[in-house]
Amino acid sequence: MNPKHLVLLIIFVIGALMVTSCAKKPEVGEPTEELPVLVEEEPVEEFPESFVVEEVPPEEIEAPTVPAETYGYRVQIGAFMSQSNAELFAAAARTNLTGNVYVEQIPPWHKVRVGDLLSREEAEMLKAKVLQLGYPGSFIVETMVKLGL
């Protein structure tokens, strides 16, 4: 047998013996000792037999004034690369139009949109009005709108 193979075989046998003989394995039938577990219990507070729970009427809670959002329509009247230009345009539109005017950032654009409309028909009427008031190229967009404003 080659001396290299003999050395490798001896190393393998010694390694196998070390791995299998290091851990003590419990014998079958050998009882294992269980350690007792201590559980601390909190004392129970006893209530008198005449204990009565009074029902307190719920107070009226005002709903927050934050408007709900849903899908609807707005009319876009302008779009600008510069936020300051969009804000100036929106400020001028607020003096000319009734209803809410928003500047929505949809990179890279700052879009100026008007209204919170639930129906396409309302959006068509608003579009006609803004075109008549001098906002050419205005168009309807479907977006999230605020209710209750």
Q: 32-66: per-residue pLDDT in tens?
A: 666 676 667 777 666 666 666 666 666 766 666 65
Grade residue 2 by pLDDT with cuts at 50, 70 and 90. Answer: confident
pLDDT at residue number 114: 98
How many whole angstroms separate alpha carbon 44 and alpha carbon 23?
A: 47
Domain limits at 107? 69-146
Total of domains in the chain: 1
CATH of the domain at 130: 3.30.70.1070
Q: Does residue 137 form part of some domain? A: yes
Cα torsion through 9, 15, 17, 23, rounded to 10:
-170
Q: Does residue 95 form part of some domain? A: yes
pLDDT at residue number 100: 95
Q: 67-96: per-residue pLDDT in tens?
A: 689 999 999 999 999 999 999 999 999 999
pTM strictly above 0.85? no
DSSP classification of residue 100: -
Check whether 25 has a pLDDT greater than 90. Answer: no
Q: Does residue 106 form part of some domain? A: yes
Q: Is 115 left (phi over 0), alpha (psi -120 to 50) or beta?
A: left
Grade residue 29 by pLDDT with cuts at 50, 70 and 90. Answer: low
Grade residue 14 by pLDDT with cuts at 50, 70 and 90. Answer: confident
Q: Does residue 81 form part of some domain? A: yes
Q: Does residue 60 form part of some domain? A: no
pLDDT at residue number 11: 84
Per-residue pLDDT, averaged over 11-39, amounts to: 67
Q: Does residue 51 form part of some domain? A: no
How many whole angstroms separate alpha carbon 91 and alpha carbon 69?
A: 23
Reduce the DSSP state of residue 41 to 3 states and report it.
coil
CA atoms within 13 A on the CB side of 68: 5
Q: Does residue 31 form part of some domain? A: no
Q: Does residue 33 form part of some domain? A: no
